[in-house]
Structure formats: structure tokens, C-alpha cells
Amino acid sequence: MRRVYLDNHATTPVDPRVLEAMLPYLGERFGNAASRTHPFGVEAEEAVEHARAEIAAVIGAAPREIIFTSGATESDNLAIKGVVEFYVDKGNHVITAATEHKAVLDTCKALEKAGRATVTVLPVDAAGRVDPDAVRRAVTARTVLISIMHANNEIGTLQPIADIGRIAKQAGVLFHSDAAQSVGKVPVDVAALGVDLLALTAHKLYGPKGSGALYVRNAAPRVRLAPQMHGGGHERGMRSGTLNVPGVVGLGRACTIAAEEMRPEQAHIAALRDRLHRGLTTQLDAVELNGHPTERLAGNLHLTFAGVDGDALLAALQDVALSSGSACTSAVLEPSHVLRAIGLNEDDAHASIRFGVGRFNCQADIDYAVDRVVQEVRRLRALSPQYAMRARASV
């Protein structure tokens, strides 16, 4: 059976060039990067520092501003908890948005439940964007952190990060952004965006799972964090633990490849996404786009198929890998918090599917996916009383 992978927001396949760079550090170059007294450790440390420089170059940072973690979830936790704990004498107010990844929302909720923070969760518009003026109005004398993601992991909407960054700077408030979905896909410059902390992860840009990083601004202002992992003082004291050298090397190589190939690759991916969109909407009625029509990730297509149960559609499409939302909340039966935040009712939220086009997709993949999705949507609609009522009402 042919299988087509269109779930690149959940994870991406490891690029063979990334795997090639990693393999020596899974074999003969097995040293601990903290063991500087012999060549095995020195060559591991050199590989780590080379990767640190590669990652820094992609986002316009200095290498010493890159802190290695296990992924974006840990990076988000370190940024938010680390700021709230370190700056407790200044305040404990955090501002975020309703469409954030659960790594941000659940972290904020945990801090609030423990009485360590007060949190303002801002609404978004129908396209999923935060109003920068709403951010400005939410800032108080006790605000220590604003946390707004760069690109949404479900609907692909890009936030006005540079505008929010200017507001944060004017208010003297630190600004954190989860950029797991955007690094390597759209230009990211931490200085231009006004970001003080930025989370990223390898497995969203064709690198290995379990490897991520947090950018922590080192000057103007210098950001201080309370560590969340103790035991050795690694990573400038912010994140203790033996480094995952193969994963770090893979993250660095993935960042370099993404930066070098970003423009032509994203144009190719956008063309495939548009082909997918046209193929579905010319053959099916009552299909609505979710998210911003233009300010969005090139590979993202999030659609509502009226009268179709999304889970039933996914179950029928075992040969086409899709999802109904974030992989991190796939065990939750409630409708996506992102879709509810942009105004979808429960029925439409449950009738929505995320398509994630990526580097290794081709036109044949897209055409196959269109044929299969159209086939299954028509079959499910023929069984749907809800769709039959909708069709009668439109006559």
C-alpha cells in the first residue's frame, strides 16, 4: 500500500545529510563533551560548539546565547519558569495567548495553580492573530514576561512578533517566543524581532527527536534564568546534564541546511500546498480554510470539511498521514483549543484536519492525497445526517 506523509508539523523525517553528520558521534566519537582532559571529550566538545555556532547563525544570535535542551517543550518550561522564579522580586505577571502550544499554556497554568504567577491569556482574531495593542494594554507594573509563539503549530498563522517585541522593549518586559515551527522555514532574527528568549527543536526541521535549544539574550538586556535542572552546572548553569552530542550535532546541521535552502524550499512547499488546496476545494464543497490566508507557514493547510467527523476521516486514511491538531494533545478528546479560540463551534472543530507539507513531498504525493481525501470525504458525507441537512438548507 502506498503511504504519503503529510504530518510534517508533528515531526519531520531526519534528512539523510543530518543523519550522516550524526553517525560518527553514535559510534567512534562517543566522548562526553564535558570531559576536557582527553581527546575523546575534546572532539565531542568541539562538535557541540560548532553546532552551537550553526544554530546561532540561523537566528542572528551569538553562540554563547544558545542553551541546549531536550526539545522545545523543555525550552519553553525553562524560559517561563526560569524568568518567573528569577525575577520574583520584580513581579509575577505573565502575558500569553489562547492559541499557544500546551508547553506554554500548561506551564503558565501550573505556575498560576502553585500561586507563583498571575497569567493573562489574550484572545486572538478569527485568523488566529494576537492584537499587539491588546498586549500593550495587558502590561502592568508586575509583568515580567510576554510569551507569544512565532508560528502556530495547528493553523500555521504567523504572529506579529516584531510589533510585540517593540512593545515589550518599551515596557521593559522580557519577551519569549516558541519558534519550534518557524525556525528554518521563515527568516528569524532575534534582534529584529525583539525576542529575549526563543525556543526551537530539531525534529521540526528534519533533525532528530530529543534535541532542542533555547536562545537566551546575553546583553541589552542580559536575561537571567533560575535553572530547572540541577547537577553539574552545564550550559552556563542554566541546564545541567550530559549533552546529547549526536542530537546537538544533528540540530546544528539541520539548521544550516534549512538556512541555506530556505527560499527555494519554501517556494516549492508553498506550491505543493496550494496544489493540495485547489485539488480539494475544486472537487468538494463546504471546505473552509482555518488560519490567516497569507501570514502563514508555507507548508500549512488546515481545513474544515463540513459534515465530516475528523477522526473518522483520519481512520479511513491510513495511507495518508494527517492529523486533527497538535501531536502533543492527540490523546485529548475535546476539540482543539486553537480552533475554539478562533471561533469554530464544536462540530466544525471536530470536522477539521491539518495537512503539513514538507521537504520530501512531491506532486505525486499531493495528487494521491487529494484523490484519497476526496474519496473518503464523499463517502462519509453520504452517511452524515448533518451534511444532508446542510445540503437541503442550501437548496
Q: How far apart are CA 122 and CA 124, in angstroms?
A: 7
Q: How far apart are CA 212 and CA 209, in angstroms?
A: 8
Q: How far apart are CA 80 and CA 107, in angstroms?
A: 7
Q: How far apart are CA 245 and CA 32, in angstroms?
A: 8
**Among 108, 255, 328, 362, the one annotated catalytic:** 328
b/e for 252-262, b at 16 or more Cβ within 10 A?
bbbbbbbbeeb
Q: How far apart are CA 237 and CA 233, in angstroms?
A: 4
Active site residue 108: no
Cis peptide before 123 (omega within 30 of 0): no
Residue 131, Cβ density class (10 Å: 0-12 exposed, 13-18 middle, ≥19 buried): middle
Grid coordinates given for 68: 541546549
Q: How far apart are CA 80 and CA 117, in angstroms?
A: 10
b/e for 32-52, b at 16 or more Cβ within 10 A?
ebeeeeeeeeebbbebbbbbb
Tally the residues of the chain. Answer: 395
DSSP-assigned states of every residue in 302-367 = EEEETT--HHHHHHH-TTEE-BSS-GGGTT--SPPHHHHHTT--HHHHHTEEEEE--TT--HHHHH
Residue 187, Cβ density class (10 Å: 0-12 exposed, 13-18 middle, ≥19 buried): middle
**Single-letter amino acid code for the residue at 336:** S
Grid coordinates given for 359: 521537504
Residue 289, Cβ density class (10 Å: 0-12 exposed, 13-18 middle, ≥19 buried): middle
> Radius of gyration over alpha carbons of the chain, in Å?
22
Q: How far apart are CA 321 and CA 326, in angstroms?
A: 13
Q: Kindly list the catalytic residues.
A: 328
